[in-house]
């Protein structure tokens, strides 16, 4: 069980005052977390969802004892992250999508062996876990290459794998899918589903990517500007956007008028970005997506690139703030 009670965290940043010769530095406080409270049962996958800067990484760092909170308490399986650190860390797997815990100049297997020693993993468990990880991530082919020589996707897979070698009972994954292509993301989802189904492992992952929450979690906690905005079942959140697709096309001047007519006649919502790119919000329960695509092709014969995506976190936040969860 994981208990997070009244956690607050402020960062103090020193800013130079304006003026070239000023000797004074202005202090600025950034309230990264404001009174965060939740309890997680063991064996669940929980997704902490939030935009960039919401406070997700800060929360993970506090829960794993990397950062101290200004106030509040954490208990993970009855242990406090700041007491008896070695023992505490033995039960944890921690992964940061934007960093690496592997040794850059060493072959991957050497890093794995160091981790094996650090965590006292016996040979049998080590071999078994390597086999399972290889089944999902095909990492054995990289083991004798240096971390430096791997592509970023390959490195992330090895890094992820290293998080699980010691059979941790609680795993923290901070933006584990950031920058991964779809096929590698899917492998990761499969592996997490396997862990969830066949072990008592608790997984806490952060993301701003809607496809992650659709694929993975039992429970979703949305944080925004350091506060919990929603805490509940994944279906409640995914219902907000399950029928919505964002269709993005590059806009050429000559197409503008016809496109506007099309959008108005169907009453689509749109967003136009500065660089001549237009995003059309399509509710597929009331509009035919394929019909729209063929209409687009007929009015824009030079159309080369159409993207169809799930809505982003900003869309979901707007709906949540607008009371969309109660509909």
Ligand X SMILES: Nc1ncnc2c1ncn2[C@@H]1O[C@H](COP(=O)(O)OP(=O)(O)O)[C@@H](O)[C@H]1O
Q: What is the contact surface with Mg ion in residues (CB under 5 A)?
A: 56-57
Give the residue carrying structure tokens 């096309």: 249
Q: Which is nearer to ligand X, 40 or 48 (CB)?
A: 48
Spatial CB neighbours of 88, under 8 Å, sequence gap ≥ 6: 65, 76, 79, 80, 81
Given ligand X, Mg ion, none, residue 118, with its beta carbon under 5 to 8 Å by kind, binds none
- Written as six digits, the tokens of 276 are 């001549």
**Minimum CB separation from ligand X for residue 48, in Å?**
8
Per CB under 6 A, 324 contacts ligand X:
no
Distances (CA, A) of 289 to 25, 210, 309: 55, 20, 12
Given Mg ion, ligand X, none, residue 32, with its beta carbon under 5 to 8 Å by kind, binds ligand X
Q: Which is nearer to Mg ion, 45 or 57 (CB)?
A: 57
**Minimum CB separation from Mg ion for residue 175, in Å?**
6
Spatial CB neighbours of 246, under 8 Å, sequence gap ≥ 6: 279, 280, 281, 282, 307, 308, 309, 310, 311, 312, 315
Asked if residue 196 lies in contact with residue 117, where contact means CB atoms within 8 angstroms, the answer is no
Given Mg ion, ligand X, none, residue 50, with its beta carbon under 5 to 8 Å by kind, binds ligand X
Give the residues across from 174 on adjacent strands.
96, 206
Residues 55-114 that bind ligand X (CB under 6 A): 55-58
**Minimum CB separation from ligand X for residue 173, in Å?**
12
Asked if residue 7 lies in contact with residue 69, where contact means CB atoms within 8 angstroms, the answer is yes
Given ligand X, Mg ion, none, residue 58, with its beta carbon under 5 to 8 Å by kind, binds ligand X
Given ligand X, Mg ion, none, residue 177, with its beta carbon under 5 to 8 Å by kind, binds none
Run of H or E residues at 278: strand 277-283
Asked if residue 36 lies in contact with residue 58, where contact means CB atoms within 8 angstroms, the answer is no
Residues 1-60 that bind ligand X (CB under 6 A): 11, 13, 30, 32, 50, 52-58
Q: Which is nearer to ligand X, 56 or 166 (CB)?
A: 56
Binding residues vs ligand X (CB under 6 A):
11, 13, 30, 32, 50, 52-58
């Amino acid at each position: 069980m994981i208990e997070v009670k009244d956690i607050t965290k402020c960062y103090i940043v020193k800013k130079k005052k304006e003026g070239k010769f000023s000797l004074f530095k202005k202090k600025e406080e950034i309230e990264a977390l404001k009174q965060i409270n939740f309890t997680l049962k063991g064996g669940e996958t929980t997704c902490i969802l939030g935009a960039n800067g919401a406070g997700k990484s800060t929360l993970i760092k506090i829960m794993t004892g990397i950062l101290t909170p200004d106030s509040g308490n954490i208990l993970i399986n009855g242990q406090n992250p700041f007491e008896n650190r070695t023992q505490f860390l033995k039960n944890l797997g921690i992964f940061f999508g934007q960093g690496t815990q592997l040794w850059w100049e060493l072959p991957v297997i050497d890093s794995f062996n160091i981790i094996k020693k650090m965590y006292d993993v016996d040979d049998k468990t080590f071999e078994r876990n390597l086999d399972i990880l290889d089944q999902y991530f095909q990492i054995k082919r990289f083991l004798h290459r240096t971390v430096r020589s791997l592509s970023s996707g390959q490195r992330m897979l090895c890094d992820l794998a290293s998080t699980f070698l010691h059979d941790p009972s609680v795993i923290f994954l901070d933006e584990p899918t950031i920058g991964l292509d779809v096929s590698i993301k899917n492998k990761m989802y499969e592996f997490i589903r396997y862990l969830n189904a066949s072990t008592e492992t608790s997984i806490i992952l952060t993301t701003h990517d809607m496809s992650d929450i659709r694929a993975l979690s039992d429970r979703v906690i949305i944080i925004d500007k350091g506060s919990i905005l929603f805490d509940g079942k994944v279906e409640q959140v995914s219902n907000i956007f399950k029928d919505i697709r964002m269709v993005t096309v590059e806009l050429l001047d000559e197409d503008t008028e016809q496109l506007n007519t099309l959008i108005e006649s169907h009453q689509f919502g749109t967003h136009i970005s500065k660089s001549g790119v237009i995003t059309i919000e399509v509710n597929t329960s009331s509009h035919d997506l394929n019909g729209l695509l063929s209409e687009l092709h007929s009015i824009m014969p030079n159309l080369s690139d159409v993207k169809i995506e799930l809505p982003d976190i900003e869309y979901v936040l707007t709906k949540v703030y607008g009371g969309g969860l109660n509909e």
